[in-house]
Structure formats: C-alpha cells, structure tokens
C-alpha cells in the first residue's frame, strides 16, 4: 500500500502533486525515498519556495537518486557535466522543450528522473505541461492494448539535435543517438504499464508496414497528448520540478518572448526500458 509522510497536494487525480515543508538543499535518504514514493503515484512533484541551488547542490540532489546523466548536447569540460542550462530570451530562435517529449528517449538508457529549477521566470507564461503515460495506456481499448503488446519503436535524436537545435556532436563518429524501445513499458518501480512514444523522438513503429505504422503512431501521439491526462505547472522563482521520464511526457510553453526564462536541469541515469507484456485472461485466451 502506498503511503508517505510528506505534505502533498495533488494537482489532478492522475498526475502532479505539490509538496510543502521540504528543503531540497538538505536531502537525506529517507526524504529521497519519500519523493520516489510520490513519483510512483503522481509521476511529477513540485516544490515551491526553495533556495537557489548552486550547480554543486543541484548535482548532489540528483546524485541522491542515482548516477547523474550527461546530456548529449551538454558542453564538455565543465566541472558539473550533468548540468544542462535552460535559457530563452528575446534572441532565442528555438526554445528547448517546446514539443511533447520524454527526456532523451533516443538513448539506449534514457534518463530516469529529471530535476529542473527555474531561477528567472517571465511575468506571465512559460508554464510546463506534463502528461501521464499511465493514464494514456489505461485509456486505450483492450483491442488496442493487445495490438501494442510486444511492439517496439525506433527513437532518434537526429531531427531534434541536428535540424532543430543545430547541436554539434562531441563524438561525430558515433552519430546521433538512436534506440529501439518497447511501445508499452513496464515501470521498474511501480510495475505499472506506461505508453512510451513521444512526438520529439519517436521516429517510427517497428513490426508494421510504413503506412500502417505511421497512422498508428500518429494516433498514439495524439492520444498521449490529451488534456485529461495532463497537469500544468505555473512556475514561481526557484521552484523545483522532479519528474519521472518513464511515466510522463512534458511540454515547455514558449509563449513569453521577449521575456526571459532561465534555470538549470540535472537528470539521473536510467536503465533500458523493459517491455510490458499482457497476461492473457480467459476472455482473450485462444481455445
């Protein structure tokens, strides 16, 4: 049974909770475990009125969840390679995160948890939307769930990193990150099924002809972005969001230009997503 000692206020029945009375600058193992418990239930947790975390403190917080992930576009040579700057102002041509995505799902072992703190926010706008992939999967028909059972998809970072953001690879000979993942994954912590395709990185469904796969992928992407699976967070200075990339997608609104939105993100390394396989019931078993 799920329990927690934290003071939490759910944002929706499916996803999102605000936690109060916590100082993330002084995490201990019990607090980290409690936060993970809330993540398993609500997928994204928000903390307001936090101190501004230094790069070292931000990295230490992420490290409490596991080894720090280094983004493929992060600058090398930094004292804190896990720090990814999130910045947009009047001169920004393309803002990061302005499409639905799960962080770096194009890698073989995508990040598990991401932790974002915004230090400077626009007077209005710049919200972040999160969508529950638990709820997205559960809302599918039984026939659709059966069709997706065992299916995989190719995730690619080339379009995003080369064509959109013009990122230069640190190791060009390796090419842009690409991976094959299950369309429906089994969450390693909650053991629940979650839909795992997103508009930013999922290039195609395997196991189907291109025409059929393209049509099905479009349906799944549109379905995953339904408003009734979402919560929306309006930022305040130094607020922190911690989210689970295995059970969510997110979308950063870029509706505040020419104002400034600035902060830092650190992610935690994850393992390769595992496939969810349905257990046959008497009503679906062959006779």
pLDDT per residue as tens digits for the range 131-151: 999 999 999 999 999 999 999
| CA distance linking residue 65 with residue 38, whole number of Å | 14
Mean pLDDT score, 238-264: 97
Does some domain include residue 60?
yes
The one catalytic residue in 250, 261, 264, 269 is 250
The one catalytic residue in 40, 58, 71, 101 is 101
CB atoms inside a 10 Å sphere around CB 17: 20
Mean pLDDT score, 215-243: 98
Does some domain include residue 285?
no
Domain count, the chain: 1
Residue 170 falls in the annotated catalytic set: no
**Which residues share a beta bridge with 261?**
88
Q: Which residue has the tokens 């993100």?
A: 265
Residue 269 falls in the annotated catalytic set: no
| CA distance linking residue 17 with residue 19, whole number of Å | 6
Least confident of 161-170, 194-203, 272-281: 161-170
Residue 103 falls in the annotated catalytic set: yes
Does some domain include residue 287?
no
3-state secondary structure of 29: helix
Percentage of the chain lying above the pLDDT 70 cut: 91
The one catalytic residue in 246, 264, 265, 269 is 265
- Tell me which of 283 and 257 has the higher pLDDT: 257
**Residue 286 pLDDT grade (very low, low, confident, very high; cuts 50, 70, 90):** very low
Does some domain include residue 260?
yes
Answer yes or no: is pLDDT of 71 > 90.
no
pLDDT at 170: 53
The one catalytic residue in 58, 103, 155, 187 is 103
Q: Kindly give, in sequence order, each residue whose CB lies less than 8 Å from that of residue 45, ignoring residues fewer than 6 positions away.
A: 8, 17, 18, 19, 35, 38, 39, 241, 242, 243
Does some domain include residue 33?
yes
CATH number at residue 169: 3.60.130.10
pLDDT at 285: 34
Does some domain include residue 281?
no
**Which residues share a beta bridge with 262?**
87, 120
- Average model confidence (pLDDT) for the chain? 91
**Which residues share a beta bridge with 182?**
152
Answer yes or no: is pLDDT of 120 > 80.
yes
| CA distance linking residue 142 with residue 138, whole number of Å | 9
pLDDT at 171: 58
Domain extent, residue 57, equals 7-275
CA angle 146, 147, 153 (to 5 degrees): 125
Answer yes or no: is pLDDT of 278 > 60.
yes
Does some domain include residue 2?
no
Answer yes or no: is pLDDT of 280 > 60.
no
Residue 188 falls in the annotated catalytic set: no
CB 123 within 8 A of CB 258: no
Cα Rg for the chain, rounded, in angstroms?
19
Answer yes or no: is pLDDT of 287 > 60.
no
Does some domain include residue 235?
yes
pLDDT at 166: 55
């Amino acid at each position: 049974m799920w329990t927690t000692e934290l003071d939490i206020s759910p944002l929706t029945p499916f996803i999102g909770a605000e936690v109060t009375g916590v100082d993330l600058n002084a995490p201990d193992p019990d607090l980290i475990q409690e936060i993970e418990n809330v993540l398993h239930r609500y997928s994204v947790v928000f903390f307001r009125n936090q101190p501004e975390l230094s790069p070292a403190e931000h990295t230490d917080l992420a490290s409490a969840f596991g080894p720090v992930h280094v983004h493929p576009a992060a600058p090398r040579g930094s004292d804190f390679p896990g720090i990814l700057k999130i910045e947009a102002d009047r001169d920004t041509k393309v803002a990061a995160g302005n499409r639905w995505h799960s962080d770096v799902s194009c890698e073989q072992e995508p990040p598990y948890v991401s932790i974002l703190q915004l230090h400077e926010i626009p007077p209005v706008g710049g919200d972040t939307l999160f969508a529950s992939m638990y709820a997205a999967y559960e809302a599918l028909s039984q026939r659709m769930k059966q069709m997706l059972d065992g299916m995989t998809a190719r995730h690619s970072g080339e379009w995003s990193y080369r064509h959109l953001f013009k990122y230069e690879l640190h190791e060009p000979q390796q090419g842009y990150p690409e991976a094959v993942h299950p369309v429906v994954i089994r969450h390693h912590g909650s053991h629940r099924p979650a839909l795992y395709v997103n508009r930013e990185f999922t290039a195609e469904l395997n196991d189907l002809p291109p025409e059929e796969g393209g049509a099905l992928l479009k349906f799944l992407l549109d379905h995953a972005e339904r408003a009734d699976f979402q919560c929306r967070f309006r930022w305040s200075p130094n607020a922190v969001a911690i989210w689970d990339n295995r059970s969510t997608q997110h979308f950063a609104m870029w509706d505040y230009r020419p104002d400034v939105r600035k902060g830092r993100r650190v992610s935690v390394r994850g393992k390769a997503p595992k496939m969810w396989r349905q257990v046959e019931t008497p009503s679906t078993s062959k006779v």
